[in-house]
Amino acid sequence: LGHVSRERWNAIFTEADENRTERVSRSEWRGIFGTIYAFDFIDKDGNGSLERSEWSEAFEGFDREAHDSITAADMLKDVDSRCIDLRAFYALGVAFWGLGIGSMSYHVCPSLLTFQFDTCFMIPLANLFTLALLDWRASSSSDTITSVKYVLYVLTPLWLINFIGTWYDIKAFEID
């Protein structure tokens, strides 16, 4: 009681493999078991399907002591060993502080100059939210070059357009 043997583990996969293709899709899993939590936990490559070999490797990962059975405690050890990258959320926290300070400076002393401090964190904050949510499901080998290109080709032009727009507001390009 309280453990799953290797035979039962394989029987669970066979039960979910309705088509007998040695591959279980996410929708097949949901149809049989009603939830997808275990499926998403074991599907480490995130391709939306589990092969029998991937399923067996998951059992091997849980059964570190080689007892040919796993318990909930064995699974919890594996969950605890996976590290979640929270750097994007820390960046969101810092951006919120910056947004708060910039917004406070504008609302205490409104002018076009302090308006720049109010808006300079709004665009990056929205983009950080997007990146944080996208990175949440990404694997540990996330592509840093893509993030750099995103900042270079998306964020920088937005900041530049915002900055030039402020110059037009203060009539910096007007010739008297």
- pLDDT of 1 above 50: no
How does DSSP classify residue 143? -
What is the arithmetic mean of pLDDT over 67-85? 67
> Does the predicted TM-score (pTM) go above 0.75?
no
State pLDDT tens for residues 10-41: 888 888 888 889 888 888 888 887 777 677 77
Query: Can you tell me the mean pLDDT for 61-72?
Result: 77
Tell which wins on pLDDT, 139 or 124: 124
Question: What's the mean per-residue pLDDT of the chain?
Answer: 77
| Mean pLDDT score, 134-150 | 61
List, in sequence order, the alpha helices (H) in the chain: 6-16, 26-33, 37-42, 52-62, 72-81, 87-108, 112-119, 122-137, 144-150, 156-169
Give the per-residue pLDDT at 87: 75
pLDDT of residue 123: 75
Q: What is the pLDDT of residue 140?
A: 45
